[in-house]
Structure 1
Amino acid sequence: MTRPRVVVAGLGDSGLLTAIHLARYVDVVGISAKSALVSGQELGTRLARPDQWARDYYVPFDRYRRLDGARTVHGTLTGVDLEARTVGVRLASGSASEEAYDVLVVSTGVTNGFWRRPDLQSADEVEASLDAAHQQLAAASSINVVGGGAAAVSTAANLATTWPDKLVALYFPGDRPLPRHHPAVWTTVERRLADRGVALHAGHRAVVPDGFACDRITTEPVEWSTGQPAAAADATVWAIGRVRPNTGWLPPELLDDDGFVRVSPDLRVVGTDDVFAIGDVAATDPIRSSARNRADKLLAKNIRAHLAGKPLGEFKAPRGRWGSVLGVQDNGLEVFAPNGKAFRFPAWSIDSVLQPWIVRRGIYGGVRRP
């Protein structure tokens, strides 16, 4: 008996985990513009310590044991025929292809700055981009970070930790960064930044030049619409959260006014029966939190239930952000609960417990050594 085929369009963090949960039950075809997982997480570590970041966040697909039964396609999506149940793919070779599906998962994510791009890239190109950003910052004596979210805060903290002799400044538009986190989170993180000598500048809203997609580290002074003098530095990292959904390959009727995929609470795309969406591309709630709250397990369960004609469960978005902000530091990993309280994985546990047992074994179902 032929098993159902599920095409997972996008193998970032959410798409990869969904594929892993499904691969033992259905035929999975994963389509990715990269030949490996290139996570959008932990920008600060990626820029400051790229080798350490790559160990956990840049992982070839063939290292995931539970993907052994799946097929991965290196290419970019060009369109979907909802009636014929096929997606179009432009392969890395340049040729065109089609993949048929019984169920389609849209997990193509968003474009955000220079670190989350939908471009087709080989392994060499990914590694070159990682090194280029790191080397540009390594050569700078002063660095401005613009933005008020976790990516900006993490970047400022990690750059200042790796290069304590550099002048690192964080500029943000509100009274405090991390506005979607519990206020107690910023109280704690502010102390961490002060300990590292990061200069904090509240109430600074940057003037973003027309056509500038925040897709590079710049060297020009930053102008402010809030009236302050321009801020000059050898390098400026833009992390202002101007995300754009990677949905140009989808019919407009599946999208909301901002281009994100409209979904019902069971993660099914509105107006379809056999298309689901997950991650930053899915308009589940104002902060699209299915990307950060393990909705992959629910989605895999719902797809199996859909194929079996059974009822589907609903995704319930959390009220606020939670998790790590700064990533792994010399003294361990600090994780914040929704109420703002922190608990810490001590440094000794990161490589002996957290990564090998909780992450690689528990979350991913086994990851081979490189």
Structure 2
Amino acid sequence: MTRPRVVVAGLGDSGLLTAIHLARHADVVGVSTKPGLVSGQELGLRLARPDEWARDYRIGFDRFRAARSVRTVHGTLSGLDVAGRRVTVTLPDGASEHLTYDALVVATGVRNGFWRRPDLQTVAEVEADLLAAHRRLAESGSIVVVGGGAAAVSAAGNLAARWPDTRVDLYFPGERALPHHHGRVWSAVRARLERLGVGIHPGHRAELPAGGAPTEITSGPVRWSTGQEPVRADAVIWAVGAVRPNTDWLPPALLDDAGFVRVGPDLRVPDAPGVYAVGDVAATDPLRTSARNKGHQVVAHNVRAELAGRTLRTYQAPRRRWGSVLGPQPDGLVVFAPDGRGFRIPRPVVRGVLQPVIVRWGIYRGIRRRGAAVDEGT
């Protein structure tokens, strides 16, 4: 019996997990502009300690045990023929490859700042980008972070912890940062930032250049539409939430007014048989929460269910963001529940249990060590 073919467009966090959950049930082909997983998570750790970040968030596709049967195509998505059930990929040499599918999962994510880009890159280019941002900040005597979301707060906290002699200031437009989290979360995180010496500046809305938020680390001045005096710094990180979906390759009829992929409660794309979307690119709810909250499990189940003629599940979006904000710290990892209450996981547990057992085995179903000749979980 011929196995169905599933194409997973985008192999970031959501796409890779979807491919892993489908690999035992279908012939899976994944398309990625990167040579391995380059996660969009934990911006602060990525900037402050890139080697530590890379250990858990930049992993070659060949190291995922459960994805061994997944064929990966390194290229840029350039077209979708809905009627013909065919995806077109532009390869690094400029040639095109056409991939037919029984089911297509769109997980191409979003572009945001300098740390989430859809550019086609080699291993060396990914590493160069990581080190360039880290070195720029290491050489700066003052850093301004503009934005009030989790990425901005994480960057400010981790950079202040990494370089305590560097002046780090966080500017955001509202009365508090983390507006999509429970109020208790900001209270706890603000106290931590203040202990680290981060300057907290609410009520500052930045004037963006005509072309939108910068996609590079810049230097000052930063000007404010809210009337404050301009601010200068050696390095300015723009984390203002100006995300754009990576959907240029899709027919406009599949997209909402902001360019995100329209989906129903079961994560199927209306008017596109066999097409699903998950992750930051999917317009599931205002916060696009299927990038977390086990959205990949729902879409993987529904792909299998539809192909087998079974009942599909619906995705339930949480009302608030939850989870970690600052990421792993020297004294452990604080995870916040939806009600804003935080609990700390000690660092030895993070390194000895959470990452090797829960994440690498429980979530990713096994990750080989670099250079390992046999399958290992750590």
CA distance in 2 between partners of 1:153 and 1:251 (Å) = 36
Amino acid at match of 1:224: W
Asked if 1:348 corresponds to 2:348, the answer is yes
- SS state at 1:222 partner: coil
Match of 1:22 in 2: 22
Is 1:65 the counterpart of 2:65? The answer is: yes
8 A contact 1:214–1:239 mirrored in 2: no
Match of 2:8 in 1: 8
Cα RMSD for the two superposed structures: 0.6
The CA deviation at 1:93 is 2.4
In structure 1, give the amino acid aligned to 2:125.
Answer: E
* CA displacement, residues 300-357 of structure 1 (integer Å, 9 cap, x when unaligned): 1111000001110000100100000000000010000000001111011111100000
**One-letter code aligned to 1:287:** L
Contact 2:160 2:166 in 1 (8 A): yes
Runs of 4+ in 1 over 3 A off after TM superposition: none
How many angstroms apart in 2 are the aligned matches of 1:85 and 1:60?
A: 29
Question: Residue 146 of structure 1 contacts residue 237 of structure 1 at CA under 8 Å; is this kept in 2?
Answer: yes
| Distance in 1 (alpha carbons) for counterparts of 2:274 and 2:323 | 32
The whole-number CA distance in structure 1 between the counterparts of 2:271 and 2:289 is 21
Structure 1 position 214, deviation (Å): 2.3
Displacement of 1:213 in angstroms is 3.9
Hey, what does 2:40 align to over in structure 1? 40
Task: Give 1:92 deviation, angstroms.
Answer: 1.8
Specify the alignment match of 1:90 in structure 2.
Answer: 90
CA contact (8 A) 2:33 2:118 kept: yes
CA distance in 1, matches of 2:290, 2:156: 26
Q: CA contact under 8 A between 1:34 and 1:120: conserved in structure 2?
A: yes
Paired letter, 2:67:
L
Corresponding residue for residue 52 of structure 2: 52
Residue 89 of structure 1, CA deviation: 0.4
Query: TM-score, length-normalised on structure 2?
Result: 0.97
1:324–1:334 contact (8 Å) kept in structure 2: yes
Match of 1:166 in 2: 166
Counterparts of 1:356 and 1:22 in 2: how far apart (Å)? 22
Q: Contact 2:19–2:30 (CA<8 Å) still a contact in 1?
A: yes
1:254 aligns with 2:274: no
- The question of whether the paired residues in 1 share the 8 Å contact of 2:260 and 2:282 is answered with yes
Alpha-carbon offset, residue 68 of structure 1: 0.7
CA–CA separation in structure 1 for the residues paired with 2:343 and 2:307: 40
Q: Which amino acid aligns with 2:267?
A: L
Aligned to 1:130: 130
Q: 2:361 maps to what in 1?
A: 361
Matched, 1:224 2:197: no
* Aligned residue number for residue 194 of structure 1: 194
Query: Match for residue 185 of structure 1?
Result: 185
Q: Secondary structure at the match of 1:105?
A: strand
Q: Which amino acid aligns with 2:345?
A: F
Q: How does 1:275-286 map to 2 (within 5 A)?
A: 275-286=275-286
Deviation at 1:220, TM superposition (A): 2.5
Shift of 1:83: 1.1
Aligned-partner residue type, residue 367 of structure 2:
V
Matches within 5 A, 1:269-308: 269-308=269-308
- Cα deviation for residue 295 of structure 1 reads 0.9
Q: How far off its partner does 1:358 sit?
A: 0.3
TM-score by length of 1: 0.99
CA distance in 1 between partners of 2:190 and 2:220 (Å)? 27
CA offsets per residue over residues 77-126 of structure 1, 9 Å max, x none? Answer: 00011111110001122211111111000000001000000110001000
2: distance between equivalents of 1:353 and 1:186?
A: 27
CA contact (8 A) 2:217 2:238 kept: yes
| Distance (Å, rounded) in 2 between the aligned partners of 1:173 and 1:293 | 28
Aligned-partner Cα distance in 2 for 1:366–1:93? 33
Distance in 2 of aligned mates of 1:213 and 1:241: 9
SS in 1 for 2:75: strand
Identity of aligned residues (%): 64
Q: How many residues align?
A: 370
Aligned to 2:353, the other structure's residue is in SS state helix
Cα contact 1:13–1:37 (8 A) shared by 2: yes
Look up the match of 2:112: 112
- In structure 1, runs of 5+ residues without a counterpart are none
Shift of 1:292: 1.4
Q: Distance in 2 between matches of 1:192 and 1:6?
A: 45
State the distance in 1 between where 2:108 and 2:323 align. Answer: 23
* Superposed CA offset, 1:268-320 (max 9, x none): 00112200000000000001000011111111111100000111000010010
Q: How far apart are the structure 2 equivalents of 1:119 and 1:212?
A: 19
- Aligned to 1:215, what secondary structure does the other structure show? coil
Partner Cα separation in structure 1 for residue 91 and residue 213 of structure 2: 26
Asked whether the 8 Å contact 1:110–1:245 carries over to 2, the reply is: yes
Q: Deviations over 1:47-88 (max 9, x none)?
A: 000000000000000000000111000000000111111100
Structure 2: give runs of 5+ residues left out of the alignment: 371-378
Q: Which residue identity does 2:249 align to in structure 1?
A: W
